[in-house]
Amino acid sequence: MVKINNYNDLPLMQEKEGTVLFYPHIPKSAKFSVNETLDSRWIGEGPKVKLFEKKFKKKFNIKGECLAVGSGTDALHLAFILAGIKKGDEVLCPLFTCTATNIPLLYIGAKIKFVDIDKKTLNISIEDLKKKISKKTKAIVCIHYGGLPCDMNEILEIAKKFNIKVIEDAAHALGSKYNNNYIGNISDFTIFSFQSIKHLTTGDGGMLVIKNKNLIAKARRLRWFGIDREKKQKGIWENDIREIGYKYQMTDISAAIGLSGLKNYFNTLKYRKLLYMQYVKNLNSFSRVKICDDFDKKKKIAPWLFTIFVSERRKLEKKLRANKIESGQTHYRNDRYSIFKSKNIYKNMDRVESKYLVLPLHTKMTISDVDKICSIIKSGW
């Protein structure tokens, strides 16, 4: 079983009590957009879902095709199926991530082989990836932790050598760039999450970006029980169901929220970057704190998290909470969960497991809030 600190003495904070760790970003226009949708014929998957896919593709200059779904997990499951991953196939996966990255592979019955972390970024270690790759490997899965891109050149080089697919979990990384190219334009499949507290939210939802346009028709069928919806809506009943599909579609209600968030997304991202860089400015030279970032110029972060490494993390958490500031771990190493049945040693993860701490970063915060948090940290614990 995973070993998680006992937080019974640190209950979840309410916003009125201080600075919470996460807060949803909902534009005011979303209320109008949702009400407009509720008054329309379509509240399930309809024209706004298509419009959201179209606007998303244009916003991030996506060269592939976009498929809006009910969650980032839905997008991952579809990506794994479309990548041809089957029962027993070996897949290299990030050790440190939300379990949603890896659980869909359990649905399929694939063999998960975890890759250790990079100590600076908490992304997958290229060094360990090279050790774990084999002729049995069917695909590589990577996550851009906190919005900081992985070392994609190296990952793609390995994938090309072994002729395998790459699936990017970009749940944290909407608007991130690698080599001046938006995440979403690099690998065979990329997924985004619009869960409640992500950069852009649809309440819950996700987007699957598929580079191979020949797969989009199949993806749309799998999203809706294996049914070709367009043929069905035209009253053509000869269309057979040949694939086992899922109920993974986005609704127009969700798309209405997403369209509102998309309009001024780059302003939202700009503000999040401002907060992130204020943390960096305050803490970069403080010897007791190490920032989770390699500051690689090839990478342009779209910050979802601001994470630090510290000794005696528990003491710092308690001090922050005493000052009405919420912090936490957010994600945990997946090998400790019983469902994954992993008993290997991961040296880098072992070294930082007790040291990483996520600090508040959201649009309800101000620069002054960041300065206050940093001042408390720099006063010691």
The more confidently predicted of residues 158 and 234 is 158
Query: What confidence tier does 156 reach under pLDDT thresholds 50, 70, 90?
Result: very high
Exposed/middle/buried for residue 19 (C-beta within 10 Å: 0-12, 13-18, 19+)? buried
Tell me the Cα Rg of the chain: 21
Q: What share of the chain is helix, strand, coil (3-state, %, to 5)?
A: 40, 15, 45
Confidence of residue 7 (pLDDT cuts 50, 70, 90): very low
Quick: pLDDT tens for 12-43: 556 567 999 999 999 999 999 999 999 999 99
Distance between alpha carbon 120 and the CA centroid of its chain, in Å? 18
CA dihedral (124, 128, 132, 134) positive or negative: positive
- Topology of the domain covering 265-378: Aspartate Aminotransferase, domain 1 (3.90.1150)
Element containing residue 34 per DSSP (H, E): helix 29-38
Q: In what order do the strands lie in the sheet with 299-300?
A: 181-182, 177-178, 299-300
Q: Scanning the structure block, which residue is given the tokens 């940093």?
A: 374
CA-based nearest residue to 170, from 145, 192, 201? 192
If you average pLDDT over every residue of the chain, what do you get? 94
Check pLDDT > 60 for residue 2: no
Domain covering 29-263 assigned CATH 3.40.50.720 in the classification: no
pTM: 0.94
Inter-residue contact 123 to 142 (CB < 8 Å): yes
Token look-up 């086992």 returns: 244
Q: Where are the domains of the chain?
A: 29-263, 265-378
